[in-house]
Chains A and B, each alone.
Chain A
Amino acid sequence: MQLPSGSTVPAVENETQLRALLGGLSGVDAVGAEARAAKLATRSLKKSTKLAALDLAISMVDLTTLEGADTPGRVTSLCTKAMHPDPSDSGVPHVAAACVYPDLVAHARHVLGASPVKVAAVATSFPSGRASLNVKLLDVREAVSAGADEIDMVIDRGAFLSGRLGQVFDEVVAVKEACGSTHLKVILETGELVTYDNVRRASWIAMLAGADFIKTSTGKVGVNATLPTALVMLEAVRDFAETTGVVVGVKVAGGIRSAKDALRYLVVINETVGSAWLSPDRFRFGASSLLNDLLMQRLKQRRGVYVRPDEFSGD
């Protein structure tokens, strides 16, 4: 697709303006969006396409641990795996990032050292986002100063659902400012927004406010990333890029465990937004167990047989 040169993101000065911009968006027909996603899910990737897609998917993984029980030891093991997912095969790409809670950023940074694997931190009182703006900003600043390359923030779903769209926008702007040059991913928590119309509007609010990425979910609620939700978000970044020239990335997170699922997302990218998003710079999978299935399918493609799950490290 042809994009206009130079950024022309419309300035949003107040909530009225924001509402006017959002009012111009087309609605989403839920039945149609789900049917389209289901149809794309029937694509069959074989041979060299499958191998290339598996490697691409590995390079797009934000290897994640977000548990109360996380320890420096666990983060060390996660980061080690992030750099060398399959130590027996140097042809396997490293993952995009290791994703941790803010207090473990410094440790992750230390383990990853000069490796190209980024440190991503979930901040802004992840996952609920139920804290004052000051607390959220402090959370972000601490993660940034501890060495995070990327911040995954959550939007205030309560504000969005009660119609305080300006507040959602302002928070993203404030967090973006606190991030400085650190990459900002904005989690919409689509499982709590429920409708595709809401997903499309929330995507635009985040993009207008300066998000580098829009992300589906925290992985902490009942409904996480789904293929139709990703489709709607990819359509949003496509339309935003066409209108403004700014290319925003998409991250899907939560519940993506199999290589088969991951490849379906790649197909949706391929047929909705195209090559510019077929890169870890523009698309990510937030996942933990997905990586091992990608590795296993990769070996299956090469050797023709499945290996035991224990062939790969647990994390």
Chain B
Amino acid sequence: MSDELTNSQLGAMAYDPAPESASIARIKPAYGLFINGEFSDPSSHEAFVTLNPATEEPLASVAQASTADVDRAVYAARRAYDTVWSKTTGAERSKYLFRIARIIQERSRELAVVETLDNGKPIRESRDIDIPLAAAHFFYYAGWADKLDHAGFGPDPKPLGVAGQIIPWNFPLLMAAWKLAPALAAGNTCVLKPAETTPLSALILAEILQQAELPEGVVNIITGDGSTGAALVDHPGVDKIAFTGSTEVGRLIQQRVATSHKHLTLELGGKGANIVFEDAPIDEMIEGIIDGIFFNQGHVCCAGSRLLVQESVADDVLRRLIRRVDQLRVGDPLDKNTDVGAINSAAQLARIKELTAYGEEEGATRYTSTCSLPDKGYWFAPTVFADVSQSHRIAREEIFGPVLSVLTFRTPEEAVAKANNTNYGLACGVWSEKGSRTLWVAERLRAGVVWANTYNRFDPTSPFGGVRESGFGREGGRHGLEAYLNV
């Protein structure tokens, strides 16, 4: 009876392409700087091109903001703060935030396509996660704007003033929402700098701010490379720097603001551990590991890039995991059935390749998905390293790509020790059906976020942030207000 069935092929029903239309994005050929409520050319007239990482084709020309432009943006934000925003009531600010949230929802399809084109992430994720969550953050903080007296920071907490916000390329619009929504709710004005490789959704957001008739200068969005970010960090007119990105750059920023009056919050890298006990709900756990590391091509600061699995079930978990990895659909990010999209940039791809080469050199067993990869664009097939040791570079350094390192442990104590044996401390996951053990482990993990029987879940009401080299300060929830209030 089972002869014909010795091979039941997963994914035997091949799916025809189901692409979302790129034209929905309505991307303009060129974008200027959004300063004082309008788009303007940069003083230097310099521009750079943003690419579609899935095809390496140019999407648009984007302005390169110089130090003079940064100065103009900070000045606009300061004037807006002094003359308008600091005199606007919480209830009024709330109305603007609600309006922005609703327009994001109205334009969600367009934003999802823009995000996928510019970033390389699958349309399923930008459509179902990035854009809805971005709107949810504005909705959530809209609710706080007139209730700051009751947020637990004493009566009438004051904003900081002008916030300089620098965001990464992995969740471009979502990170903009994480930064702008609490800052505006708390009464600050903002200068936002999106990442060099993914500026487009922030520029669409600028259009949305115009549509919402947000007073001019309250939010200014300036595009550029690292020099633009540095000029913003160094600007004396900025009261607060909020940065999300690499630990390396975070360290530089902290040094540069050390002698100034500026407030600082940093959300940096991570090397999250997903800890799997032998009594874990196995099918959901496999999905959780997959979500933990292959969500957004692993370009997630809190990615579960280390899998710590109890030795007694390691073989079974690895077998099921590899079977599942092979099923991931890698390819055209605009295809609605794509699970894993393109790597965001050539530089990031090179970094992933470099670190995975170390993995092999150091003696880990490499398993790479047999999926075929497109000829053009930046691609990296989902990869799992087994037999990884704590001392391997792939167990210590953030790869920021679709690469999982699998280690084993014998006891809960050993799991905690290995999970904590890192300079980072952003997120961890614990998988077990035994609640008491989950709590015992969670209490001992040095991480800002611990997920139980799930991974990579985000909600605007829940604070997010790291400890140690993963940064400080919280985004989301009531805690997220603190980063933008003088308390």
Interface residues of A (CB under 8 A from B): 1-7, 26-29, 31-33, 35-36, 42-50, 52-53, 232, 235, 238, 241, 245-247, 266-267, 270-278
Measured between beta carbons, the chain A residues less than 8 angstroms from B453 are 29, 31-32
Q: A271 contacts which of B1, B2, B7, B11 (Cβ < 8 Å)?
A: B11
Nearest-neighbour CB distance to chain B for A250, whole angstroms, equals 13
Measured between beta carbons, the chain A residues less than 8 angstroms from B11 are 270-271, 274
User: Given the known A-B contacts A1-B323, A49-B13, A271-B10, are A276 and B18 also in contact in the complex, defined by CB atoms under 8 Å?
Assistant: no
Stretch at the interface among B244-252, B277-285, B351-359: B277-285
Asked whether B344 is an interface residue with its Cβ less than 8 Å from the other chain, the reply is no
Nearest-neighbour CB distance to chain B for A107, whole angstroms, equals 32
Whole-angstrom distance between the alpha carbons of A173 and B18 in the complex?
Answer: 46
Q: A247 contacts which of B5, B13, B16, B433 (Cβ < 8 Å)?
A: B5
The reply to whether A49 and B15 form a contact with Cβ atoms under 8 Å apart is yes
Measured between beta carbons, the chain A residues less than 8 angstroms from B17 are 46
Measured between beta carbons, the chain B residues less than 8 angstroms from A50 are 16
Please name 26 pairs of A and B residues whose Cβ atoms are closer than 8 Å in the assembled complex, sorted by A. Answer: A1-B7, A2-B6, A5-B2, A5-B6, A26-B279, A27-B279, A28-B281, A32-B288, A42-B128, A43-B337, A44-B15, A44-B18, A44-B336, A44-B337, A45-B15, A49-B13, A52-B13, A241-B5, A245-B2, A246-B1, A247-B2, A270-B10, A270-B12, A271-B327, A275-B8, A276-B7
Whole-angstrom distance between the alpha carbons of A46 and B453 in the complex?
Answer: 34
User: Given the known A-B contacts A2-B6, A247-B5, are A36 and B13 also in contact in the complex, defined by CB atoms under 8 Å?
Assistant: no
Measured between beta carbons, the chain A residues less than 8 angstroms from B9 are 274-275
Asked whether B86 is an interface residue with its Cβ less than 8 Å from the other chain, the reply is no
Chain B residue nearest in CB terms to A244: B2
Whole-angstrom distance between the alpha carbons of A274 and B6 in the complex?
Answer: 12
From residue 429 to 448 of chain B, which have CB atoms closer than 8 A to chain A?
433
Asked whether B124 is an interface residue with its Cβ less than 8 Å from the other chain, the reply is yes
Chain B residue nearest in CB terms to A50: B16
The reply to whether A27 and B2 form a contact with Cβ atoms under 8 Å apart is no
Measured between beta carbons, the chain B residues less than 8 angstroms from A276 are 4-5, 7-8
Nearest 7 A/B pairs, CB to CB? A32-B284, A275-B12, A276-B8, A44-B18, A29-B281, A274-B8, A29-B284
Whole-angstrom distance between the alpha carbons of A42 and B12 in the complex?
Answer: 18
Whole-angstrom distance between the alpha carbons of A62 and B279 in the complex?
Answer: 38
For chain B, which range describes its interface: under 10, 10 to 19, 20 to 34, or 35 or more residues? 35 or more
Nearest-neighbour CB distance to chain A for B54, whole angstroms, equals 18
Measured between beta carbons, the chain B residues less than 8 angstroms from A7 are 1-2
User: Given the known A-B contacts A45-B18, A241-B5, are A28 and B284 also in contact in the complex, defined by CB atoms under 8 Å?
Assistant: yes
Interface residues of B (CB under 8 A from A): 1-18, 124, 128, 279-285, 287-288, 323, 327, 336-337, 433, 453-454
Measured between beta carbons, the chain B residues less than 8 angstroms from A36 are 283-284, 287
Measured between beta carbons, the chain B residues less than 8 angstroms from A49 are 13-16
Measured between beta carbons, the chain A residues less than 8 angstroms from B13 are 49, 52-53, 266-267, 270, 275, 278
15 new A-B pairs (CB below 8 Å) besides A28-B281, A46-B17, A274-B12?
A1-B7, A1-B10, A1-B323, A7-B1, A32-B287, A33-B283, A42-B124, A44-B18, A44-B336, A245-B2, A247-B5, A271-B10, A274-B9, A276-B8, A278-B13
Whole-angstrom distance between the alpha carbons of A33 and B287 in the complex?
Answer: 9
Whole-angstrom distance between the alpha carbons of A278 and B17 in the complex?
Answer: 20
Measured between beta carbons, the chain A residues less than 8 angstroms from B18 are 44-46
Whole-angstrom distance between the alpha carbons of A3 and B6 in the complex?
Answer: 5
Whole-angstrom distance between the alpha carbons of A1 and B16 in the complex?
Answer: 23
User: Given the known A-B contacts A32-B453, A33-B283, are A274 and B14 also in contact in the complex, defined by CB atoms under 8 Å?
Assistant: no
Whole-angstrom distance between the alpha carbons of A271 and B8 in the complex?
Answer: 11
Measured between beta carbons, the chain A residues less than 8 angstroms from B336 are 42-44
Measured between beta carbons, the chain A residues less than 8 angstroms from B323 are 1
Whole-angstrom distance between the alpha carbons of A238 and B320 in the complex?
Answer: 12
Chain B residue nearest in CB terms to A38: B128
Q: B16 contacts which of A2, A47, A245, A273 (Cβ < 8 Å)?
A: A47
Measured between beta carbons, the chain B residues less than 8 angstroms from A53 are 13
Measured between beta carbons, the chain A residues less than 8 angstroms from B337 are 43-44
Whole-angstrom distance between the alpha carbons of A298 and B283 in the complex?
Answer: 34
The reply to whether A26 and B5 form a contact with Cβ atoms under 8 Å apart is no
The reply to whether A27 and B8 form a contact with Cβ atoms under 8 Å apart is no
The reply to whether B2 and A6 form a contact with Cβ atoms under 8 Å apart is yes
Measured between beta carbons, the chain B residues less than 8 angstroms from A28 are 281, 283-284
The reply to whether A1 and B8 form a contact with Cβ atoms under 8 Å apart is yes
Measured between beta carbons, the chain A residues less than 8 angstroms from B5 are 3, 241, 247, 276
Measured between beta carbons, the chain B residues less than 8 angstroms from A44 are 15, 18, 336-337
Measured between beta carbons, the chain B residues less than 8 angstroms from A52 are 13
Chain A residue nearest in CB terms to B283: A235
User: Given the known A-B contacts A1-B10, A26-B280, are A31 and B15 also in contact in the complex, defined by CB atoms under 8 Å?
Assistant: no
Measured between beta carbons, the chain A residues less than 8 angstroms from B327 are 271
The reply to whether A2 and B7 form a contact with Cβ atoms under 8 Å apart is yes
Measured between beta carbons, the chain B residues less than 8 angstroms from A43 are 15, 336-337
A5, A35, A274: residue with the most chain B Cβ atoms closer than 10 Å: A274
Chain B residue nearest in CB terms to A276: B8
B14, B16, B285, B287: residue with the most chain A Cβ atoms closer than 10 Å: B16
User: Given the known A-B contacts A42-B128, A49-B13, are A273 and B8 also in contact in the complex, defined by CB atoms under 8 Å?
Assistant: yes
The reply to whether B454 and A32 form a contact with Cβ atoms under 8 Å apart is yes
Nearest-neighbour CB distance to chain B for A90, whole angstroms, equals 24
Whole-angstrom distance between the alpha carbons of A45 and B14 in the complex?
Answer: 9
Measured between beta carbons, the chain A residues less than 8 angstroms from B7 are 1-2, 276
